[in-house]
Amino acid sequence: MNRKNLIPLVAAVAAGLYLPQAAFAQVRRPAAPPPAAEPVKDNRPPIPPGVPTNPGNVHLPTEGEVKLGRQTSVEVEKHYKIIASGPYHDRLQRVAAEVLRAMEREEIIADYKKTYRLPKREDRALRVPFEFTFKVVDAPKEVNAFSLAGGPIYVTTALMDYAPSDHELAGVLAHECAHVSYHHVEQLVKKQKKASAAQLWGMLAAVIAGVAGGGRALSSAVPVLAGAQLVSVATLTGYGRELEHEADRVAVVALARTSYHPGGMLTFMQKLARDDRLRGNPDLGIYQSHPFTNERVDALRKHMATAGFAADQAALRKVSSVFRVAAMPQRVQGRDVVELRLGGNLLFIVAAGDGERSAAERAQNMVRQLETLLADNLSASDVRQSADGSVLTLKGIPVFRVLPEDAAVAGSAAEATERAKNEILRALLQEKLDTQY
């Protein structure tokens, strides 16, 4: 195989396994390889005939891009179990559908054309439609999302758990859609053309070894590939940073046309920055091809400000999973109750109504009060428990008043308010840890 044919082959695999691994989330721990699976059959219809590039379709992928994405997705699905139904799948499809509609808006297409000064007069490529698909990868220990050329996007179960807020998941998906829509893999191909044949063979060998080794090797292939690229990456300093920042910027613009707040991207990145800080993120100097998480947090704030979105504490609390308040009907000790949860943790159990309000109505009133006070910059000093333990006030407002039925389920009135107090303080402390990156 000559160098000309080798370049797209390397890019096909590298783009699918190297670039996407760091595309938005960061791999925390490699996934164990799943049991041997049946060969993946590609039952998709043939790629439609391409249309010559023109001003109206220059934003679409080329035939080669779609073929590249299809080939890589087949390899991915040989080694990862895809979850095709159930809560993870349903949630991903619901959020992705709205994000994708926003990405397909004319203003995003116009931005792409303007950014890259398209179309080029010499462009002779044949264009075909995007093939966006969104699939859940069964990887409970790997917080990751990655996109392939032409449209395939994969999200791990660990990432979906890490981003319980739909605002956060939407931010991840918008970022990955931006990588696809702005043809970042194609740009990788162009960059790789400057590498030597020896470097390309080394890169290909590393990635093929990863593909052959299953899930664990797919994750471990990333640093191996980075090592094989040391010489060429030194000349590409800023390439990864530039495209990551572009994907963040485009994602903010797209989310502005959805029901999801781009602040979810910020709270998600803050969590990653926190984990980077706790783990330690090695400084690779000029070989650092992807921006540090805290750098992206700062850039996201600027993108949000440009788009007219607030990024203050009150705004972020509305979309953060840490401050997500939910009322969930349950049956406890033979009694129908409503559990209030904060960030997924049990906060308070409403076992009875008061006056003309049912238990469910009373619980919803507590939710509204708590959400309002959190958005009003509630702090730890604003959380007070009464001397007898029957009331928990927030900014002087008695939000949690324990009725006898509530106390019976909790053990005592003091235990009920103590739990609520501790959970609120825990969330406030978590917020402080997340934002000190």
pLDDT tens-digit series, residues 386-402: 999 999 999 999 999 99
Handedness of CA 101, 107, 109, 111 (dihedral sign): negative
What's the rounded Cα separation, in Å, for the pair 169 and 166?
Answer: 5
Alpha carbons within 13 A on the beta-carbon side of 260: 30
Handedness of CA 259, 263, 266, 272 (dihedral sign): negative
User: Is residue 319 one of the residues assigned to a domain?
Assistant: no
Residues 146, 276, single domain; the answer is yes
pTM: 0.78
The CA-atom distances, in angstroms, between 184 and each of 20, 45, 299 are 10, 25, 19
Residues 249, 348, single domain; the answer is no
What's the rounded Cα separation, in Å, for the pair 302 and 308?
Answer: 10
Query: Pick from 249, 283, 314: which residue ends a domain?
Result: 314
Residues 169, 111, single domain; the answer is yes
Alpha carbons within 13 A on the beta-carbon side of 101: 10
Residues 255, 134, single domain; the answer is yes
**What does the pLDDT look like over 319-378, one tens digit per residue?**
998 999 999 999 998 889 999 999 999 999 999 999 889 999 999 999 999 999 999 999
- Strands (DSSP E) contained in 20-141 are 51-52, 82-83, 126-127, 133-137
Q: Which residues contact 376 (CB under 8 A, 6 or more apart)?
A: 314, 395
Query: Pick from 314, 340, 357: which residue ends a domain?
Result: 314
Q: Which domain holds residue 238?
A: 3-314
- One digit per residue, the tens of pLDDT, for the chain of length 437 reads 455 544 444 444 444 333 333 334 433 344 444 554 455 566 788 899 999 999 999 999 999 999 988 988 888 888 889 999 999 999 999 999 999 999 999 999 999 999 999 988 888 999 999 999 999 999 998 888 888 889 999 999 999 999 999 999 999 999 999 999 999 888 877 776 665 555 544 544 444 344 333 444 444 443 333 333 333 333 333 447 788 899 999 999 999 999 999 999 999 988 888 887 777 654 444 334 445 677 888 889 999 999 999 999 999 999 998 999 999 999 998 889 999 999 999 999 999 999 889 999 999 999 999 999 999 999 999 999 999 999 999 999 999 999 999 999 999 999 999 999 999 999 999 999 888 75
Residues 56, 147, single domain; the answer is yes
The partner residues of 146 in beta bridges, in order of sequence, read 154
**pLDDT value for 426:** 97
Residues 342, 431, single domain; the answer is yes
User: Is residue 179 one of the residues assigned to a domain?
Assistant: yes
Residues 404, 422, single domain; the answer is yes
Residues 129, 36, single domain; the answer is yes
